Amino acid sequence: MEADTKAKRHVVCRADEIQPGASKRVQVAGRDIAIFNVNGEYSAIGDRCPHEGASLCAGAIVGLAEADEPGEARMTRHGEFVRCPWHGWEFDLKTGKSWCDPRRTRVKKFDLAVEDATKIVEGPYKIDVFDIRQEGSYLVIDI
Amino acid sequence: MTSPVPSATNLRAGSLPIAGLGAIDCDVHPRSPRRQDLLPYVDDYWREIFMSREIDHLELSGYPETLRPNRAAPDAGNGDAASLAKALLDPLKLDAAILNVTSGVHAIFDPYLAQVLCQATNRWLAAEWLDRDPRLRASLIVPLQHPEAAVAEIEAYAKDHRFVQVLAVVMNDKPLGQRYLWPIYEAASRHGFALNIHAGNTYRHAPTQSGFNSYLVEDFVHQTQGFANQVGSLLAEGVLAKFPEMKVVLSESGVTWMPSLMWRMSKDWRGVRIEVPWVKEMPSLLMRKQVRLTLQPFDGPSDPAQAARAIAHLGGDEMLLFSSDYPHDHRIDVAYWPANLPEELAARAARENALATYPRLEV
């Protein structure tokens, strides 16, 4: 019973499969997960937009348009959001929360780690997706 | 108690008298001033113009007061302050009533004539109405055709708190959110005026986006679209965000269309808000904070339970303001709370909401 309540770690892909600015959808334990690489930093959120179900993975990685005054718009937080490809709703890549309605409109955020290949081979992880080579880094998701 | 609208058959009079609520009537119409009313307040050049151009009865054809339902009954008490007191303020025991002049002054093209007509109308309102009954308040009439003069008029009346809001008609030249009008909102907001958007049309454009309609029944309905346009404009252009203290009061707008506008703008904002990043809150929340609607004429269902559900969609009854729209004949007895409106709304709508809407209103 104890084992079932613990998060399971899943190796989902090689880190270099997702170049900076790119994204990839993976399926882990029956879930569609969108993984983004923003300037070498990876994040993983649920792939299905809670609005109409579009794949967020296909959305643009964007910053936040902000304005203190009408007519004085500027971009901030570059690369921290994905904009849904269908209707433009924005989701914070770090938290999965939508910008417009963070409390109620959100996708799940997953813990993602970049692990060295050697560590993965040696570690007690469930490796159910890929052959692990002995070099490079892999993305590991806790579910 | 006698009905203040003698011609009305009491189709939908409820049983709750307005008297006793300490009500503040947010939309009352004095007769529009005629030439002889305004001449004392203009200089000799403008007297010459008024006479030689025969400027007299300025009726807004998009809000014609000589036609029903805007036409007052022959013995309606909106001819002078004493008659209005006898017909409306006394029987309803109103604590205050806000006078709205929706005359042709709003449609004048000549910016200087518009300015003079607005000035004279305000002076007439002050001298002939406000000075004669301490319960009376008024909307300041300003020339949107001439924003600089409009600002000057607001400044001129900044200390006269009997003028509680600045009046614009709902269908006019351009959307009201546009920046050329912001000096007016800046002055209004700084001095605690609300912005009143009142039914009416200057016919600068066809009243519908599909062209001119043929019948009056259509015209009534299209006013609603005009109100929705203006709320959308004030929100998107950033007026609500820029002037968060200024309430926007919609007069004779109806109510039940408002929730769908709130829902739709809140939804579409999520996807296209990057165009208007100064709209930082969900539009429905901003509207609930700043937009107010007067209750007469009410556009909801006649069944009280259904009407209550329609109103509940607003998400807050702080948005509603009691009004009689006196002396316009909507076939109800304005001495009683309308039968189809929830009575539990009465205390708030009749008084508290108005006090929260008009910082200049001291009762």
Please indicate whether, in this complex, the C-beta atoms of A89 and B274 are within 8 angstroms of each other. no
Domain count within chain A: 1
Whole-angstrom Cα distance, residue B256 to residue B320? 11
Please indicate whether, in this complex, the C-beta atoms of A89 and B237 are within 8 angstroms of each other. no
**Residue B1 resides in a domain:** no
Place of tokens 């006698």: B2
Instruction: Give A15→chain B minimum CA distance, Å.
Output: 31
Domain with residue B53: its CATH number is 3.20.20.140
Give the pLDDT of residue A2. 45
Please indicate whether, in this complex, the C-beta atoms of A70 and B241 are within 8 angstroms of each other. yes
- Residue B65 pLDDT grade (very low, low, confident, very high; cuts 50, 70, 90): confident
Please indicate whether, in this complex, the C-beta atoms of A70 and B238 are within 8 angstroms of each other. yes
Tell me which of B224 and A133 has the higher pLDDT.
B224
Q: Is A89 on the interface with B (CB under 8 A)?
A: yes
Cβ contacts (< 8 Å) between A100 and chain B: which residues? 269-270, 273, 282
What ipTM describes this predicted complex? 0.83
Residue of B nearest to A74 (CA): B277
Torsion sign, CA atoms A12, A13, A14, A20:
negative
**Residue B363 resides in a domain:** no
Please indicate whether, in this complex, the C-beta atoms of A73 and B271 are within 8 angstroms of each other. no
Beta bridge partners of B98: B137
Q: Is A65 on the interface with B (CB under 8 A)?
A: yes
Write out the residues of chain B at the interface with chain A, using a CB-CB cutoff of 8 A: 179, 237-238, 241-242, 269-274, 277-278, 282
Instruction: Give A84→chain B minimum CA distance, Å.
Output: 9
Residue B109 lies in domain? 13-357
Give the pLDDT confidence of B125-143 residue by residue, as tens digits: 999 999 999 999 999 999 9
**Residue B276 resides in a domain:** yes
pTM of the model: 0.91
Cβ contacts (< 8 Å) between A70 and chain B: which residues? 237-238, 241-242, 278
Contact B89, B133 (CB under 8 A): yes
Give the pLDDT confidence of B319-338 residue by residue, as tens digits: 999 999 999 877 788 899 99
Mean pLDDT computed over B65-75: 75
- Residue B253 pLDDT grade (very low, low, confident, very high; cuts 50, 70, 90): very high
Mean pLDDT computed over A38-44: 91
- Residue A142 pLDDT grade (very low, low, confident, very high; cuts 50, 70, 90): confident
Whole-angstrom Cα distance, residue B202 to residue B103? 10
Give the pLDDT confidence of B140-191 residue by residue, as tens digits: 999 999 999 999 999 999 999 999 999 999 999 999 999 999 999 999 999 9
Please indicate whether, in this complex, the C-beta atoms of A87 and B241 are within 8 angstroms of each other. no
Q: Is A100 on the interface with B (CB under 8 A)?
A: yes
Please indicate whether, in this complex, the C-beta atoms of B278 and A98 are within 8 angstroms of each other. no
**Residue B362 resides in a domain:** no
Q: How far is CA B304 from CA A55, B98, B197, in A?
A: 45, 27, 27
Whole-angstrom Cα distance, residue B35 to residue B23? 33
Which residue, among B235, B266, B278, B284, would best test binding to A if mutated, counting the most A CBs under 10 Å from its CB? B278
**Residue B6 resides in a domain:** no
Which residue, among A72, A97, A100, would best test binding to B if mutated, counting the most B CBs under 10 Å from its CB? A100
Domain with residue A66: its CATH number is 2.102.10.10
Domain count within chain B: 1
List the beta strands (DSSP E) in chain B.
13-17, 24-28, 96-99, 136-141, 163-171, 194-201, 248-251, 291-294, 320-321, 336-338
Whole-angstrom Cα distance, residue B129 to residue B119? 15
Residue A129 lies in domain? 2-142
**Residue B291 resides in a domain:** yes
| Closest CB to B278 among A69, A84, A105 | A69
**Residue B158 resides in a domain:** yes
**Residue B278 resides in a domain:** yes
